[in-house]
Structure 1
Amino acid sequence: MVESKKFFPLFIDLNEKECLVVGGGSVALRKTKTLLEYGASVTVVASHFKEEFKSLPVEIYQQDFVVDFLKDKFLVVAATDNIHLNEMIYDICEMRGILMNNATSKEDMNTRFSAIIETEEFQIAISAKGLPKKSVKLKNQLIDILKELDIE
């Protein structure tokens, strides 16, 4: 039996860091918006894109992924519906020491995205170990608790 990875919670400055998102669907769009919210410089590559990508301040390449896109990237998100492609991107990023989030795996990544709550006083990140719907559910419950305690 393979022991599952243990992820260390970490807050990291993404301001002006070069990030790559591979994929043009809903998950890629959501993760791209999150990266932009934290100041990242984002490049997106995919053969097809949701229309909303065109309104974002990102560099878009409408083509298939090639390894050269990884050059000088701080963080990579593989958010395609091709599990094998996402795993290949993970393997390359792992060898090169690049932070990588894989939308189709709980293990084949070295970085997870969190559900985030931000208030004037707090920044709370929630991970349900690769189960984003559970993270969002807890996030919404915590927001209600913070409101009740008047510390939102």
Structure 2
Amino acid sequence: MGHNFFPLFVDLNGKRCIVIGAGNIAYRKIKTLLNYGAKVEVITKDVAEEKILELQDIKISTREFSMEDLKDVFLVVAATNNSDFNRKIYKACNENNILVNNMTSKVDMNARFAAVYESKSVQVAVSSKGYPKKSLEIRDSIKKMLEKN
């Protein structure tokens, strides 16, 4: 059974966030975190998405993830392609009251990224409970509606 998520806007400016894994999905999450001012560290055995190496203002640690990495972390993104490993990360984070987003599960997480539309006067975030394509479609519909006015 899934969680019932409370919608909340959070200031990530200067917050320590780690992304475990370095593929295409990790790249997108890293860019989002950077856009909101997070201090991002990527922990990965190898960088699968070369574009990650071009990003500014991130720390890349090419090594195994350790539970010690969770010290003083605000948010974790479990972005490996190993669902069992991501579930272990989720459990460790959840037990330590750390926000965690898991790329391989709709339920083994306590935080979701939303599809966001921003203008000068409004910020709208959409979650479709783990179905990102649906969230993007709804966000785009809202964007069209708001930009007409």
**TM-score of the superposition, structure 2-length normalised?**
0.95
Per-residue displacement from partner, 1:60-101 (whole Å, max 9, x unpaired)? 011221111111100000011000010000000011110111
- 1:1-152 equivalence runs, <5 A: 3-49=1-47, 50-56=49-55, 57-149=57-149
May I ask how many residue pairs the two structures share in their alignment? 147
Provide runs of 4+ in structure 1 moved above 4 Å: none
AA aligned to 2:17 is C
RMSD between aligned residues? 0.9
Write the deviation string for residues 10-51 of structure 1: whole angstroms up to 9, x where unpaired.
000000000000010011010010000000000001112111
Secondary structure of 1:44 counterpart: strand
The percentage of counterpart residues that share the same residue type is: 46
Determine the C-alpha separation between the residues in 2 that align with 1:80 and 1:133.
Answer: 20
Q: Is the 8 A contact 2:116 2:139 kept in 1?
A: yes
- Is there any run of 5+ residues in structure 1 with no aligned partner, and where? none
Task: Classify the secondary structure of the residue corresponding to 1:61.
Answer: strand
Q: Which runs of 5+ in 2 are unaligned?
A: none
CA distance in 1, matches of 2:39, 2:60: 12
Letter in 2 for 1:44: V
Following TM superposition, by how much is the alpha carbon of 1:4 offset from its aligned partner in structure 2, in angstroms? 2.5
TM-score between both structures, scaled by the size of structure 1 = 0.93
Q: Residue 120 of structure 1: CA displacement?
A: 0.7
Range 60-69 or range 119-128, more displaced: 60-69
Q: Say which is worse superposed, 128-137 or 45-54, in terms of deviation.
A: 45-54
